[in-house]
Amino acid sequence: MEKNFIEIENLSYAYDEDEGDKVPVLNGISLNISKGEYVAVLGHNGSGKSTLAKLLNMILTPTSGKIIVDGVDITSDELTEDAMFELRKKVVMVFQNPDNQLVATIVEEDVAFGPENLGYPSEEIRKRVDEALRTVGMSEYAHHEPHRLSGGQKQRIAIAGIIAMSPECIIFDESTSMLDPSGRKDVLNTMEKLNKEKGITVVTITHYMNEAAQADRVVVIDDGRILMDGTPAEIFSKPDVLRNAGLDVPQCSAIVEELKKLGVPLDGDCYSTELCAELICNYLTNVQGL
């Protein structure tokens, strides 16, 4: 792995309540993310995962602790506006609601909004917009009106608008939760493509297990702390911990868990349909000789 792209050191955040009360949301989180990693952050509502995303994108500033992005302390008081501008180009966010992220009346103008603001010459903008739309598979919609697209298509336009700014890291904050199954699949495929083909660091914040299963690494947050950090296989082999953290267990893992309780000695990864079917078939051939 390359050097750390994001270093989070002992990060805490508390919201202000009425009468000066503080409500702690994050309690001393430390986490390193390398360049090119694909990380899923799992947690129930109120676990602190969205607050973490907002801190990473400087929408919020921490109560204590530090975040270093690409060697720059983004939580420092001395951070200049220019430096902040540079950082916001490097780390960008895709939000939950596709309707809240589109600004223009024509798809390609919407995608051009970011690079225009960054002051690129018009030929460069043209090139970036075309390339970005191609990456998300929406080229044929360049002249359509965004509000007539489906949720999944809108989300992909929002992503295209972000890629056009060539960021190094994209944070997806529950970006598939309002989409139908095919829209979700399209956005998930786009995430994977951006990571594997373009080398963009992807951090996806979610409570969907299948989304986390697709990542290289899963970080589970509960009660403002990191509960688990590992590969999907490691995380999903602990169904009880997931349930206690208010999360689901993939149905396949739940089936294997129940069968084990009934005395079937199944041992191996089983969080995806394919892995689970393989595990069961191998058991049948080896043990029962069927």
Binding residues vs another protein (CB under 8 A): 44-46, 96, 150-152, 174, 177-184, 207, 210, 246-248, 250-252, 254-255, 258-259, 262-264, 273-274, 276-277, 280-281, 284, 288
What are the C-alpha distances in Å from 1 to residues 20, 135, 151, 174, 234? 44, 25, 35, 27, 19
Q: How far is CA 40 from the centre of its chain?
A: 5
Q: Going by C-beta distance under 8 Å and a sequence separation of 6 or more, which residues neighbour residue 157?
A: 102, 107, 110, 111, 136, 138, 141, 146, 149
Closer by beta carbon to another protein, 59 or else 284: 284
Closer by beta carbon to another protein, 94 or else 247: 247
* Nearest distance, CB of residue 178 and another protein, angstroms: 6
* Nearest distance, CB of residue 241 and another protein, angstroms: 14
Number of alpha carbons in the 13 Å side-chain half-sphere of residue 261: 7
Closer by beta carbon to another protein, 123 or else 261: 261
Closer by beta carbon to another protein, 200 or else 219: 219
* Nearest distance, CB of residue 212 and another protein, angstroms: 13
Place of tokens 């809240």: 100
Do 53 and 93 meet the contact criterion of CB atoms below 8 Å apart? yes
* Nearest distance, CB of residue 274 and another protein, angstroms: 7
Place of tokens 């999944």: 152
Closer by beta carbon to another protein, 26 or else 247: 247
* Nearest distance, CB of residue 38 and another protein, angstroms: 21
- Dist CA 219 CA 46 (whole Å): 16
